[in-house]
Amino acid sequence: MNTLKTLLLFTILAILAAYVYFYEVEGGKERDADAALAEKIIDFEPDSVKTIEIRSLFGPYVFARTSAGWDIREPVNTGGDKTNIDGLLTTLKNLKKDREFAIKRGEEKNYGLVGRSFLVTLEFNNGQRDSVRFGDETPVGGKIFISKGDSLVYTVVASAKSSVNKQLFDWRDKSLAKLKLSDVMEFKIKNSHGLFQLQKEGNNWELLTPRKV
């Protein structure tokens, strides 16, 4: 009888332990993940973005990913600033809803979600697209209004807007030349003091002109 009771108690404890593990521990992780996903404005990985389009009163900007980073396709065709464009994607990925509420058709202008807004559209490698519109700052609280184009409006941290509110100079690549230092074997410098020519030998540089040293 004692053995039977012991086995019964052991079975009950095993069931309780399994319940705690699968529901409270594993289930808690899943619920936390679901809650974090529900807070996101756009759920994506930055590496999956193929093109970015920004439309505002300042005109359209279109960025296309390349093997070397980013190119600007509109309003000019030139290299893009990788730091600023990647920073925009990071901001979008980390956007979290602070508050949400529904509005009626025609009320978008009350929140700066038409006209002076910034519309950011992402195109992914699989051909799908997603977008978010940045509006005005909230009257209090240091937030801004954003929308996904439906009747819901969200508030998020106001600093997020600075990642999209940029001029062409901020978006374009400002490097003078694209090269790897390890690929440079020789270069010349000419100034008011004359011509200087240097050549790489192994890991060292030799001055060839005006005199070899």
- Model confidence at 181, pLDDT cuts 50, 70, 90, reads low
- Express each pLDDT in 13-46 by its tens digit: 777 766 666 666 665 555 544 444 467 889 999 9
Q: Prior bond to 60 cis, omega within 30? A: no
- Express each pLDDT in 39-90 by its tens digit: 788 999 999 999 999 998 887 999 999 998 999 999 999 999 999 999 999 9
Q: Yes or no: is domain 46-171 CATH 3.30.200?
A: no
Q: Which tokens hold the place of 120? A: 């950011």
The span from the CA of 98 to the CA of 41, in Å, is 10
CA 22, 24, 30, 31 torsion-angle sign: positive
Q: Give the start-to-end residue ranges of the domains of the chain.
A: 1-39, 46-171, 179-213
Burial 52-66 (b: 16+ CB within 10 A, else e): bbbbbeeeebbbbbe
